[in-house]
Amino acid sequence: MNLKAERGAATRDKVLAIATRLFAERGYDDTSIETVLQESGLSRGALYHHYAGKEALFEAVLEATESAVGVKIVQAIRGIKDPAAALRTGVLAWIRLAGDPVVKRIVLIDAPSVLGWERWRALEERYSFGMLKAALGATGAVPAEHLDLHAHMLLAAVNESALLVARGGDHSHAEAAVEEFLRRLLRED
């Protein structure tokens, strides 16, 4: 189980990379399996052998993207002791990452409607949301009974500003606004 498995994995990776690019460029709806097939030189049968369908392919793309983003955010806050500082740093890192058109389109725009809100939420729980909730909880600035909801609202707020930045807003101005927003939420100053 070596040569075959490796070939399969290589094919999956190739399709994943191409699909990621296409989904990011054109969005889910306007990306046809046909195009993925053409650009990868693969046959229908091969693709459907590795992925159950278009939606499953998108889910794999989403998962890979979220995972990559998660790793970068962890790197950004590594070594920061003060919980509030870690939260602020992580949030700003996330905003910069979400500026990437790939992240923007796949994670923030298409994911909820393609997977359905429920499944999207479950996936977010394992990535951005999970991290943010932990970081927010560590600051102790929010009453425990509201932690979950506040984390959700904060993430949504941060995602929105990330989209605004990606749309072409003033980067540093947006970051300043987010920092102010955070200060108010944590009742700092």
Instruction: Give the nearest distance from C-beta 104 to a second copy in angstroms.
Output: 8
Partner in contact with 54, chosen from a second copy, DNA, none, beta carbon below 5 to 8 Å by kind: DNA
- Alpha-carbon separation of residue 144 from 10, 136, 174, 179 (angstroms): 46, 10, 29, 22
Q: Does residue 115 interact with DNA by CB under 7 A?
A: no
Residue 49's alpha-carbon distances to 17, 114, 160, in angstroms, are 17, 21, 37
Residues that bind a second copy (CB under 8 A): 27-29, 109-110, 112-114, 116-118, 121, 143, 145-146, 149-150, 152-161, 163-164, 167, 169, 173-174, 176-178, 180-181, 184-185, 187
Which does residue 72 touch among a second copy, DNA, none (CB within 5 to 8 A, set by kind)? none
Q: How far apart are CA 119 and CA 143, in angstroms?
A: 28
CA Rg value for the chain: 19
**Distance separating alpha carbons of residues 124 and 63, to the nearest angstrom:** 9
Shortest CB 144 distance to a second copy, Å: 12
For residues 47 and 43, what is the distance between their CA atoms, to the nearest angstrom?
A: 7
Stretch that binds DNA, among 43-51, 93-101, 118-126, 151-159 (CB under 7 A): 43-51
Ramachandran quadrant class, 177 (left: phi over 0; alpha: psi -120 to 50; beta: rest): alpha
Structure tokens at 90: 């992580």
Q: Which of 42, 73, 86, 106 binds DNA (CB under 7 A)?
A: 42
Tokens, residue 112: 């909820």
Per partner kind, with CB cut-offs from 5 to 8 A, the member of DNA, a second copy, none near residue 109 is a second copy
The residues that touch DNA, with contacts defined as CB under 7 A, are 1-5, 7-8, 10-11, 31-35, 42-46, 48-50, 53-55
